[in-house]
Amino acid sequence: EPEVTQTPSHQVTQMGQEVILRCVPISNHLYFYWYRQILGQKVEFLVSFYNNEISEKSEIFDDQFSVERPDGSNFTLKIRSTKLEDSAMYFCASSWARGTGELFFGEGSRLTVL
Partner 1 sequence: SQQGEEDPQALSIQEGENATMNCSYKTSINNLQWYRQNSGRGLVHLILIRSNEREKHSGRLRVTLDTSKKSSSLLITASRAADTASYFCATEIYSGAGSYQLTFGKGTKLSVIP
In contact, 62 and 42? CB cutoff 8 Å? no
Residue 52 near partner 1 by CB under 8 A: no
Question: Residue 28 contacts by C-beta under 8 Å, 6 or more apart in sequence?
Answer: 96
d(CA 103, CA 87): 23
The only residue of 38, 43, 81, 112 in contact with partner 1, by rule CB under 8 A: 43
The only residue of 45, 60, 66, 69 in contact with partner 1, by rule CB under 8 A: 45
In contact, 17 and 87? CB cutoff 8 Å? no
- Using CB under 8 A as the binding criterion, the count of chain residues that bind partner 1 stands at 24
Reference 90, options 74, 102, 79; nearest CA is: 79
We find the least distance from the C-beta atom of residue 114 to partner 1, in angstroms, to be: 20
Tell me whether residue 56 or residue 85 sits nearer to partner 1 (CB atom): 56
Q: For binding to partner 1 (CB under 8 A), which residues are involved?
A: 4, 33, 35, 41-45, 48, 55-56, 91, 93, 98-108
